[in-house]
Structures are given as C-alpha cells and as structure tokens.
Structure 1
Amino acid sequence: MADDLGSYLAVGPRVGLRAFTLGDGEEFTARARESRALHEPWLFPPRTTEAYAAYARQLIDDPARAGFLVCEREGGGIAGFVNINNIVRGAFLSGALGYGAFAHAAGRGLLSEGLGLVLTYAFGPLGLHRLEANIQPGNTASRALVRRAGFRLEGFSPAMLFIDGAWRDHERWATTAERWPGPARDAQRL
C-alpha cells in the first residue's frame, strides 16, 4: 500500500513521522495494551482512550512539548512514538526525550529510524541544540537505542523519577546538534 507522504513531517526508508492527533487514540491504546510486557517496568503509555486524550492534548497544546508518532510507511500503522518534553528556549535550546516502540515493531529497527528522523527535525526545524534521555540503568534496549543514535553517557541521577511506585535511578544520555550528522542519509524532509 502506498503511503501519503503529505501526512508526514519527515520520512525515512521504512517509517514516517507525524504529529499526534486525538483521532489516534484507539490504535495507540490498543498497541499500548498489546505491549505491556515489553514496556513495564520502564514505561507506562496511556492504555485507555480517555488517558490517551489527556496525553495527546498535552503534546498538541503545550509549546514545551513535541510529540511524534513513528508510523510504518507500508500501511501507516503506528510502530512507536518519540516525544520531546521540557523544551526550553533561550540560551538552553534543549529538550528531554521520551519514547517507546510497540511490541509488533520491536527489534525491527523502526524506532531507531524514527529517532533519527526526530533528531534531524529537532536540530533543524525545531531549532534545538541539545537533547537528553534519562534511562533507568537496567533498560538495556533503551540504552542501546540512544547509543546507536550517537548519544553519550553524561551522568547518573539517583532517585530521579517516581515510576511504578518508587523513586528510580537514571542515567543521563545526551547529544547536541554538533554531534548529529544532519539529515539521515536516506531521510527526506517534507
């Protein structure tokens, strides 16, 4: 099935990025429910349409956030998501990443491709200089994802975030516009 390139902010060989919409609630929450074993104890995306609506509304309305759905170009299904939270302008030009692949797409490199497109978009049209990802030390898949994208380990924050009923330690990984090589070789900005 051919995809509609006009609906994407950026495209790669296998995925396209598009903004969250309120209409994505049913598909997103179904994928989140299917992916519970993959995500927990690291990640808790919304699993009901009501929770999704509140989540998406923040990403749509809050200028300190930018949310991207990573969609398979073949068929357009949602493979995962990458959000930039806590965007600070001025001299900082920074944001914090949150992301997740859905179980049907895990291990296929789709989120890696999508993250590359987000980095190109963040350091291009969004005008950011720095992105960081705070990752629990035991989350090896997440650590591998950012390492492949060129992030470097900058530090350790004990008891940083309250997740799943407890304060969790996190590693801080980051990259800057200077470290990012620019548009991915096979990506095209729309």
Structure 2
Amino acid sequence: MQPGWPAVLSDGAVLLRPYRRGDARAWSEVRRANEAWLARWEPTPYGSWYELNSPAAFRSVYSDLRRAARQGSAMPFAVCLVSDAGERLVGQLTLGNIVRRAFCSGYAGYWVDSRVAGSGVIPTALALAVDHAFAAGGLHRIEVNIRPENQPSRRVVEKLGFRQEAYHERYLHIDGEWRDHIGYALTAEDVCADGGLLARWHRLRATA
C-alpha cells in the first residue's frame, strides 16, 4: 500500500472513506438521480448512463479504484454525510494519476449530489484530502483541471486558493466533444503557513 492509504478523514458531518462493496446501491442511486447534473462534466460515456451507473457496474468501478489504490496511483474516497440517521453517500473525491519520486504530484477530481451542492461539502472534502495528501500521503503538488464553463467547480478551487496555471485546449473528451480545461494547482508550501487547507477553509467560512 502507498503512504497514507487507506484513510478515513472527517470534519463535522463530512466523512471521506474508501469505498466498500456494499456501496453499490447507494452509489447507483445517487449517480442515476444526477445524470443531468453530472453528465455534462464527465468523460463521454461508452454506453447508457443508466447501465454504466447500475449496482452491477459498481463492481467494476470498485475493482478499478481498489487496484489503483493498491498500485499507489490513486486515493479514491467516497464522500459521505453523517447524521443521527446514519451515513449517506453523496459524492466522490479521487486523488489520481499519482506519481512519486521527483514529482510527488497528483490530480484531484470530484463529483457531488446536486441536492447538497453549494453547502460546503466538496470544499471541505477537497481540503481534507489535500491536507492528507501533503502530510501522510507525502505528496507535494495537487492539480485540478476544470472546464471554463463549470463555474461551481471553479469557485471551489479558487476560494481554497488554488492558482490558475494553464489553459488546456481540447484537453479531455467530455459530453461528446473535446473540451478546453483550466489548470489549477496547489503545492504544500502554499498552505503550510496557513496551518493547512482545512484551516484556511474554516477561516473563510467564519468570515463569509
């Protein structure tokens, strides 16, 4: 296993943990319910959204994510909300394409249930994951690539202090076409002085 994995991270009601086999139904339900919300930002699917996000399809997703984590190329977290009623899966945050040695870098990608979008779940999840990657995970740099039109996702990284570094033309095949993306990045030095990214996010929320 790679440094810092497996891991369970939390802040308030937001919980990040590795996926479990038993997440199949919850994962399928939230993915299917959010097709209109998610499909326009995700890689072009090779098949119907309904079938690719079925409980049966989760078995392949789960296997692929576990394999990537074992190989050290990803830290894939289920994003959950915890309440007195229990735990509810509401999204996913993956630190992927991890390369170590002189690079010590990875990419962050995430999605969230539209019913909790804008409530601070993903900024909290991203801050938790980045702090963990820089500390226990031994990484130095995290990048995020976002379509220019995806204003909600851009606001997430911009308010956390990710800097815009690049504009990638026709970067990924998304929703049926090659789409431009804006490249954002953050290094460990960018947040060390602030006591970590989660501490920065807490201060921002306190002054909002």
- Give the shorter-chain TM-score range: 0.7 to 0.9
Aligned to 1:47: 53
5 Å-filtered alignment, 1:3-42, equals: 9-42=8-41
**CA–CA separation in structure 1 for the residues paired with 2:114 and 2:129:** 20
Correspondence for 2:46: none
Alignment correspondent of 2:206: none
- Measured after TM superposition, the shift of residue 183 of structure 1 is 6.3
Q: Which residue of 146, 159, 169 maps to 1:148?
A: 159
Aligned counterparts of 2:177 and 2:7: Cα–Cα separation in 1: 38
Q: CA RMSD of the aligned region, Å?
A: 1.9
More displaced 10-residue stretch of structure 1: 8-17 or 24-33:
8-17
TM-score (norm 1): 0.88
- The alpha carbon displacement at 1:170 in A equals 0.7
Matches within 5 A, 1:32-181: 32-43=31-42, 47-62=53-68, 63-74=72-83, 75-180=86-191, 181=194
**TM-score scaled by structure 2?**
0.80
Separation (CA, whole Å) in 2 of partners of 1:67 and 1:24: 13
Equivalent-residue separation in structure 2 for 1:68 and 1:19 (angstroms): 5
Equivalents in 2 of 1:105, 1:56: separation in Å? 23
Secondary structure of the residue aligned to 2:92 is strand
Cα deviation for residue 34 of structure 1 reads 0.9
Using the TM superposition, give the Cα deviation of residue 8 of structure 1 relative to its aligned residue in structure 2, in angstroms.
Answer: 6.7
Deviations 1:136-177 (A, max 9, x none): 110001101111221110010111111222111111011111
> Which ranges of 4 or more aligned residues in structure 1 deviate by more than 3 Å?
none
User: Which of 173, 198, 208 in structure 2 is aligned with 1:184?
Assistant: 198
> Between Structure 1 and Structure 2, which shows a larger proportion of helix residues?
2
Q: Give the aligned residue type for 2:126.
A: L
- Consecutive unaligned residues of structure 2, counting only runs of 5 or more, are 1-5, 44-48, 203-208
The answer on whether the counterparts of 1:34 and 1:103 sit within 8 Å (CA) in structure 2 is no
Contact 2:24 / 2:59 at 8 angstroms: preserved in 1? yes
Contact 1:88/1:95 (CA < 8 Å) preserved in 2? yes
Who is 1:3 aligned against? Answer: none
AA in 1 matched with 2:124: E
Give 1:116 deviation, angstroms. 1.0
Any gaps of 5 or more consecutive residues in structure 1? 1-6
Distance in 1 (CA, whole Å) between partners of 2:168 and 2:153 is 16
76 and 100 in structure 1: CA distance in 2 versus 1, 3 angstrom threshold: same
Q: How many correspondences in the alignment?
A: 180
Q: In 1, are the aligned partners of 2:160 and 2:197 still within 8 Å (CA)? A: no
Q: Residues 160 and 183 from structure 1, CA distance in 2 versus in 1: closer, same or farther, beyond 3 angstroms?
A: closer
